[in-house]
Amino acid sequence: MPGIYLDHAATTPLRPEVKEAMAPYLDDRFGNPSSIHAWGREARAALEEARERVAAAVGAARREIIFTGGGTEADNLAVLGRWRVTRRSLGSAAVVCSAVEHKAVLNAVLQAGEEGAQVVILGVDGDGRLELGALEEVLPLRPAVVSVMWGNNEVGTIQPVPEAAGRCRAAGVVFHTDAVQAFGRLRVRVDEVPLDLLSLSAHKLGGPKGIGALYVRAGVQLEPLTHGGGQESGMRPGTQNVPAAVGFARAAELAVEQLERNVAHYRALRDRLEAGLRERIPDLVVNAGGAPRLPHLLNVSLPGVDQEMVLVSLDLEGVAVSSGSACQSGTVEPSAVLMAMGRAQPGEASLRLSLGLATTAAEIERALEIVPRVVSRVRAVAETS
């Protein structure tokens, strides 16, 4: 498709190496991994090898990886699975997350609240960073789970996950992190950080859509959310998607092998985009600009610019960006993340521009011509109406 795709935080194209790895499993290696015949055994071997490779990519053991239908499912299993298993033994408990979590965590936490959990949402500073002091205060409640994302999908803020995980471990509290955006953009290793649960999603890494994983540290108890056969250790029953698992493994492996090179690529282009936009739109505000940020993502606020009009006008000019997380596009509700940061202003547009492996310097230069022109035009329309 012609145009400039700057929405890689929403999803990324399938990498050619991934497509190639998946192809035989979309073709004659179609067996069900639970079948005992040769076709089934072939599928089972591929699935377990994929599990081993995803595990190795994050420093986990093979048995600690549960394949899920994506990041959303992994987040729900972590939060609700912990809450429900704790409720079963203790009757009630607190469930804690930060105010800038993806809806997959936030709404799972609110669902736990509907089911009787004490919900605690931890505030963040103006750059979207969790305050560790606020976390310390809730630990005496002995929550069923504390969930703090590694890297934010709207503004890119990197949370102090090693520190937060360390404090939870010291207090004997189970810690979950959503690493869906962070994995492939920074070092994510479960053997270096004392976390218990970690969510991944393949389609943010050049893998297929509809597959993700939950890392579950050995010994951490969860209650499954769906009921059926015994697949995925009973935690996620249903026939596994073998081609997607194989593709996910390849994407995860490549993300780790090429991490340094990819981060340098993202950072160079993002910094150029940020500097160019600041120069051409002097009143632009870079959100989370004071925090460590994921390298592939830039979020800016534009005073006096209509949100919908700027997104539609950019689309007409062939530039794909978003206003925040993809699940919010199509609505004009202010971003919950920017609100939590105290950065949501009426009459202000916010744009998320996110880069991929195939994004080029020429595309960034072209975007630097188009975005400021569109912003001026949208502002001029607002002034005359």
Residues labelled catalytic: 327
In three state form, how does the secondary structure of the chain look? CCCEECECCCCCCCCHHHHHHHHHHHCCCCCCCCCCCHHHHHHHHHHHHHHHHHHHHHCCCHHHEEEECCHHHHHHHHHHHHHHHHHHHHCCCEEEEECCCCHHHHHHHHHHHHCCCEEEEECECCCCCECHHHHHHHHHHCCCEEECCCECCCCCEECCHHHHHHHHHHHCCCEEEECCCCECCECCCCCCCCCCEEEEEHHHCCCCCCCEEEEECCCCCCCCCCCCCCCHHHCCCCCCCHHHHHHHHHHHHHHHHCHHHHHHHHHHHHHHHHHHHHHHCCCCEECCCCCCECCCEEEEEEECCCHHHHHHHHHHCCEECECCCHHHCCCCCCCHHHHHCCCCCCCEEEEEEECCCCCCHHHHHHHHHHHHHHHHHHHHHHHHC
**Least distance between ligand PLP and beta carbon 203 (Å):** 6
| Residue placing its CB nearer to ligand PLP in the complex, 203 or 265 | 203
Task: By CB under 6 A, name the one of 98, 153, 159, 177 that touches ligand PLP.
Answer: 153
* Minimum CB–partner distance for residue 72 and ligand PLP (Å): 3
**Closest distance between ligand PLP and the C-beta of residue 363, in Å?**
22
Q: Which of 299, 325, 354, 359 binds ligand PLP (CB under 6 A)?
A: 325
Answer yes or no whether residue 72 interacts with ligand PLP by CB under 6 A.
yes
Show the binding pattern over residues 173-192: x = contacts ligand PLP (CB under 6 A), - = does not: -----x-xx-----------
CB of 210 to ligand PLP, least distance (A): 8
Shortest spacing between CB 105 and ligand PLP, in angstroms: 7
Of the candidate residues 104, 106, 155, 256, the single one contacting ligand PLP (CB under 6 A)? 104
Closest to ligand PLP by CB, 72 vs 307, is 72
CA–CA separation, 364 vs 369, rounded Å?
9
Q: Specify the residue, 72 or 313, whose C-beta has the smaller distance to ligand PLP.
A: 72
> How near is the Cβ of 366 to ligand PLP at its closest, in Å?
26
x/- binding map, residues 248-287, to ligand PLP, per CB under 6 A? ----------------------------------------
Q: Are strands 212-216 and 175-178 parallel, antiparallel or unpaired?
A: unpaired
Residue span binding ligand PLP (CB under 6 A) among the ranges 17-25, 67-75, 89-97, 216-224: 67-75
Q: Give the residue, chosen from 12, 76, 147, 201, that forms a contact with ligand PLP under the rule CB under 6 A.
A: 201
User: Segment contacting ligand PLP (CB under 6 A): 68-76, 229-237, 274-282, 301-309?
Assistant: 68-76
Which part of the chain contacts ligand PLP (CB under 6 A), choosing from 51-59, 71-79, 134-142, 309-317? 71-79
Judged by the rule CB under 6 A, the positions of this chain that interact with ligand PLP are 70-72, 75, 102, 104, 149, 153, 178, 180-181, 201, 203, 212, 325-326
